[in-house]
């Protein structure tokens, strides 16, 4: 084993040396799937290749996105069906800012370490912010004279002040510069900084010069108190309530899933877990084994959260710009945090690490970024039959699911992102929100003092939890038994019975279905009339003649309440409908556009679909918006219990019959004390 580690270290050093020398090398032996995220070695190679093109000095290169350039889908599917071990050729896509001005888009051939193509971005919008420039920006106020005076004027201690970054949005400006708003907080007496804003100060920082370019101290509002805002267990004081009893989780036979590289096999499912610095977790090439036909069948080629739009609803000077795009502006993937074993994930969970590129292009390691585990509980199916004389029948099957979990923390909010796979064939993506509310400091301690619209709820003294929305848009590239699919809307309608001689009923409901032929046909606002939405393969039918498919089972629908011509809504126009369907296009990955920061809304899903392309019996992508209108309440303060939402992708005439009919319940280990008291 020591010899192995020695040889591995030697090979790694040789790889890094060759990369720096510009020698063509191939790290593909580390890759087991064409959609594997970039490895540490590949990121190092990409860094060396880009720096060779833009040598420093004199050029300064800052890496804002480094990710896998999606391989051609036909090549991936051919590779998957052929059973060959060598994946197709891999490339990386890079967005870099050179000399604090030009935004360059590059494609790097990883095998040859060559720049295959590059272009300079000249349109609107800027790339995802780097962690490093955010870290530099938040330190600027602490060394800025006017800010120090403002802190002294408020009787605060500068050493107890921390700041945070906020994107500025776009409000009709013809020309924009890369900039951030900075807001500061007091950490005196609590780690819960977001509930203690230092209000009345407006700060604008230029990111290219890394200087404060605008500063206004408008009004002094009281900083909300620190009492009862602490959430760290080590800092909480009695009384504690409620007391929860310990719970044991044990798998005597070990986990029922296997992980090879980033590929997962569990029960009747096989799929791939990818990672992207912008999207976070990506589920790919998901297929399910059908015992009736003795083979695995395609379901989902790729699924991920394409964007998260969070507009706050206070039009005031210190709040109007708070209309965030968490994936495009801050990077969902680079905002992922390490998961805590036994708390974020149960004891039997297995973890995956990931690498992403820092602003200098060097690989950064995120440990325990993703966990995979089985979850027992609930019922898969059951029936009690008491209608047969002298016979009592009760059949119950326990339910077991596989969960893929990650946590994305962007500023004050924690997003728990789950993908749940069930033996029945269902996939259940879900989102659970926790973290801290955005608080507006006010000179109000009771609702009786509120005389005008405060744009939120008084959740504590001097603390308004501001109204806001969370819109997650999922990119779901279905391949139901093949790439050629269609989108079918089934509407429910009430029918009046007119022939009273044939029935004593006055009405009943039935359905009528239509196949969406174009993108316009597919746009759907849910919640106004009952409907059933299914992706089908019109070329594959069951033995009874039904088209095989998967149904979207949505949660309660949320619709944007902003005017469509409002600047934030123009940028977030992908929320105008709950469901969209587009023909597959590898360049159409990001619903808010490739360059979201200060974008003008001219490269969004809403713009692409104006082409009104055909989508019938084609390789199509379904986009689904999960929305929450968040009216804060006192229970959300000082830290939120989980607020959850999600949806289900459910097989619909995909199998000949219940696919878990013959699935036996797992053995349940009975611990001492189980059963009746």
Query: Any catalytic annotation for residue 413?
Result: yes
352 and 476 belong to one structural domain: yes
User: Among 557, 558, 586, 593, which residue's Cα sits nearest to residue 572?
Assistant: 593
Which region, left, alpha or beta, applies to residue 662 given φ > 0 means left and ψ of -120 to 50 means alpha? alpha
Whichever domain contains 346, its CATH number is 2.70.98.20
Domain boundary among 227, 246, 277: 227
644 and 572 belong to one structural domain: yes
Residue of 304, 413, 474, 624 marked active site: 413
Taking the C-alpha atoms of residue 71 and residue 76, their distance in angstroms, rounded to an integer, is 7
What value does the CA radius of gyration of the chain take, rounded to a whole number of Å? 27
Query: Any catalytic annotation for residue 314?
Result: no
Q: Which residues pair with 162 in a beta bridge?
A: 185
549 and 622 belong to one structural domain: yes
Report the residue count for the chain.
677
pLDDT recorded at residue 669: 55
Taking the C-alpha atoms of residue 260 and residue 245, their distance in angstroms, rounded to an integer, is 36
46 and 87 belong to one structural domain: yes
**What is the distance of C-alpha 538 from the center of its chain?**
31
Q: How far is CA 512 from CA 72, 297, 461, 492, in A?
A: 37, 28, 55, 7
pLDDT recorded at residue 275: 98
Total domain count, the chain: 3
Asked whether residue 555 is domain-assigned, the answer is yes
Say if residues 267 and 422 touch (Cβ distance below 8 Å): no
Query: Taking the CB of residue 601, how many other CB atoms lie within 10 A of it?
Result: 21
Dihedral sign (CA 441, 447, 449, 451) = positive
Residue 385 burial by CB count (10 A; 0-12/13-18/19+): exposed, middle or buried? Answer: exposed
135 and 117 belong to one structural domain: no
DSSP code, position 470: E
What's phi and psi for 406, nearest 5 deg?
A: -145, 160
pLDDT recorded at residue 59: 76
pLDDT recorded at residue 98: 94
361 and 212 belong to one structural domain: no
Q: Which residues pair with 73 in a beta bridge?
A: none
pLDDT recorded at residue 101: 83
Whichever domain contains 197, its CATH number is 3.10.450.40
Residue of 36, 69, 314, 326 marked active site: 326
Asked whether residue 245 is domain-assigned, the answer is no
pTM exceeds 0.85, yes or no: yes
418 and 444 belong to one structural domain: yes
* Residues 6+ away with beta carbon under 8 Å from 229: 190, 192, 195, 196, 460, 638
Tokens encoding 321: 């710009």
Asked whether residue 208 is domain-assigned, the answer is yes
Say if residues 469 and 556 touch (Cβ distance below 8 Å): no
583 and 495 belong to one structural domain: yes
* Residues 6+ away with beta carbon under 8 Å from 405: 339, 344, 345, 370, 371, 372, 373, 416, 417, 418, 419
Q: Which residues pair with 535 in a beta bridge?
A: 487, 550
pLDDT recorded at residue 19: 35
Residues of the chain with pLDDT under 70: 1-29, 667-677
Residue holding tokens 């500061």? 184
Asked whether residue 671 is domain-assigned, the answer is no
Say if residues 426 and 648 touch (Cβ distance below 8 Å): yes
pLDDT tens-digit readout, 110-131 = 999 999 999 999 999 999 999 9
Dihedral sign (CA 28, 30, 31, 36) = negative
pLDDT recorded at residue 667: 66
Asked whether residue 279 is domain-assigned, the answer is yes
Asked whether residue 641 is domain-assigned, the answer is yes
480 and 346 belong to one structural domain: yes
pLDDT recorded at residue 628: 96
482 and 538 belong to one structural domain: yes
Residue holding tokens 């016979």? 391
pLDDT recorded at residue 507: 95
pLDDT recorded at residue 668: 58
Taking the C-alpha atoms of residue 431 and residue 434, their distance in angstroms, rounded to an integer, is 10
* Residues 6+ away with beta carbon under 8 Å from 544: none
pLDDT recorded at residue 297: 98
384 and 517 belong to one structural domain: yes
User: Among 527, 615, 632, which residue's Cα sits nearest to residue 577?
Assistant: 527
Asked whether residue 448 is domain-assigned, the answer is yes
Which region, left, alpha or beta, applies to residue 544 given φ > 0 means left and ψ of -120 to 50 means alpha? alpha
User: Among 378, 429, 431, 387, which residue's Cα sits nearest to residue 660?
Assistant: 378
Say if residues 133 and 60 touch (Cβ distance below 8 Å): no
pLDDT recorded at residue 100: 82
Range of the domain at 188: 131-227
Query: Taking the CB of residue 183, how many other CB atoms lie within 10 A of it?
Result: 21
pLDDT recorded at residue 670: 53
Dihedral sign (CA 454, 457, 462, 468) = negative
Asked whether residue 473 is domain-assigned, the answer is yes
417 and 497 belong to one structural domain: yes
Say if residues 279 and 51 touch (Cβ distance below 8 Å): no
pLDDT tens-digit readout, 575-587 = 999 999 999 999 9
Residue 329, classed as helix, strand or coil, is helix
Taking the C-alpha atoms of residue 164 and residue 194, their distance in angstroms, rounded to an integer, is 9
């Amino acid at each position: 084993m020591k010899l192995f580690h020695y040889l591995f270290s030697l090979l790694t050093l040789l790889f890094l040396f060759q990369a720096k020398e510009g020698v063509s090398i191939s790290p593909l032996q580390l890759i087991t799937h064409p959609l594997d995220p970039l490895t540490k070695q590949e990121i190092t190679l990409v860094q060396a290749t880009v720096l060779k093109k833009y040598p420093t000095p004199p050029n300064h290169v800052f890496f804002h996105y480094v990710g896998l350039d999606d391989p051609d889908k036909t090549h991936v599917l051919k590779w998957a069906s052929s059973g060959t071990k060598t994946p197709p050729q891999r490339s990386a896509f890079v967005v870099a800012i050179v000399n604090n001005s030009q935004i360059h888009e590059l494609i790097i051939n990883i095998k040859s370490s060559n720049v295959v193509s590059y272009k300079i971005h000249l349109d609107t919008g800027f790339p995802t912010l780097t962690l490093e420039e955010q870290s530099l920006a938040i330190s600027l106020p602490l060394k800025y004279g006017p800010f120090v005076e403002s802190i002294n004027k408020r009787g605060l201690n500068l050493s107890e002040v921390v700041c945070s970054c906020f994107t500025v949005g776009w409000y009709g400006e013809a020309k924009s510069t890369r900039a951030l708003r900075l807001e500061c907080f007091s950490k005196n007496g609590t780690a819960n900084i977001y509930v203690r804003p230092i209000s009345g100060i407006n700060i604008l920082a230029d990111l290219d010069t890394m200087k404060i370019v605008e500063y206004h101290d408008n009004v002094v509002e009281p900083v909300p108190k620190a009492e009862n805002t602490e959430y760290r267990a080590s800092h909480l004081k009695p009384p504690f309530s409620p007391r929860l009893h310990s719970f044991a989780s044990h798998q005597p036979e070990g986990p029922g899933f296997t992980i090879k590289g980033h590929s997962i096999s569990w029960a009747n499912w096989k799929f791939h877990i990818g990672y992207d610095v912008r999207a976070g977790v990506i589920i790919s090439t998901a297929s399910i084994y059908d015992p009736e036909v003795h083979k695995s069948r395609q379901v989902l080629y790729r699924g991920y959260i394409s964007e998260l739009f969070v507009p706050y609803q206070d039009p005031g000077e210190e709040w109007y710009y708070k209309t965030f795009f968490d994936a495009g502006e801050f990077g969902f993937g680079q905002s992922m945090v390490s998961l805590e074993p036994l708390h974020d994930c149960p004891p039997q969970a297995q973890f995956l690490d990931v690498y992403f590129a820092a602003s200098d292009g060097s690989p950064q390691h995120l440990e325990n970024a993703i966990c995979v585990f089985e979850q027992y509980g609930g019922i898969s199916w059951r029936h009690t039959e008491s209608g047969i004389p002298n016979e009592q029948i009760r059949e119950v099957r326990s339910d077991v699911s596989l969960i893929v979990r990650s946590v994305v923390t962007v500023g004050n909010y924690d997003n728990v992102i789950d993908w749940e796979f069930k033996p029945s064939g269902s996939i259940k993506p879900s989102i659970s929100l926790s973290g801290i509310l955005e608080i507006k400091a006010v000179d109000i301690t009771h609702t009786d003092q509120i005389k005008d619209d405060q744009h939120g709820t008084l959740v504590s003294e001097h603390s308004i939890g501001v109204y806001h929305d969370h819109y997650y848009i999922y990119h779901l590239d279905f391949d139901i038994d093949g790439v050629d699919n269609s989108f079918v809307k089934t509407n429910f309608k009430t029918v009046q019975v007119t022939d009273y001689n044939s029935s004593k009923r006055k009405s009943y409901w039935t359905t009528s279905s239509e196949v969406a032929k174009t993108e316009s046909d597919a746009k759907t606002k849910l919640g106004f009339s009952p409907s059933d939405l299914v992706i089908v393969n019109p070329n594959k039918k069951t033995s009874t003649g039904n088209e095989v498919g998967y149904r979207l089972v949505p949660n309660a629908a949320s619709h944007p309440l902003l005017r469509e011509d409002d600047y934030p809504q123009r940028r977030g126009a992908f929320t105008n409908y709950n469901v969209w369907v587009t023909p597959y296009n590898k360049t159409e990955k990001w619903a808010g556009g490739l360059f979201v920061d200060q974008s003008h809304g001219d490269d969004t899903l809403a713009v692409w679909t104006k082409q009104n392309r055909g989508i019938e019996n084609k390789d199509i992508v379904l986009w689904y918006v999960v929305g929450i209108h968040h009216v804060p309440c006192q229970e959300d303060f000082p830290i939120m219990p989980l607020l959850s939402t999600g949806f289900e992708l459910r097989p619909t005439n995909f199998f000949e019959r219940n696919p878990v009919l013959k699935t036996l319940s797992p053995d349940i280990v009975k611990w001492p004390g189980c059963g009746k008291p």
